[in-house]
Amino acid sequence: MRKSYRVKKEAEFQRVFDAHQSVANRQFVIYQLEKPDQPHFRVGISVGKKIGNAVHRNWVKRRIRQTLTDLKPQLRQDVDFLVIARPRADGLSMAEVKASMIHVLKLAKLLNPDDCEEEK
């Protein structure tokens, strides 16, 4: 994803956390902050050390990024959101990561439920 689609600074992460709007499933937590004047969504990805070593953390981040890239046309554009991986996200296949991300994005109302099909 291009830099304009990323939340990178600590202050920006904190602003989204302070909004207290979150949803979760067993693999991921999503925090969101609405920004009506923003031209497109921005996303921050956090994978903690409970996941494993750097190889495992980067592996999970790559799968999250790829899922979000695939779903980009269906995502709401007026929001900043953070995706936080829980330890259960480690070791999932790409299809499982995508299904879990679709589920949590629908819970957060960031994804139009009619536009995408869950792949199993």
pLDDT greater than 70 at residue 92? yes
Residue 120: per-residue pLDDT: 41
Residue 113: per-residue pLDDT: 54
User: Which residues in 27-36 are b (16+ Cβ under 10 Å) and which e?
Assistant: bbbbbbbeee
| pTM metric for this prediction | 0.85
Q: Is 20 left (phi over 0), alpha (psi -120 to 50) or beta?
A: left
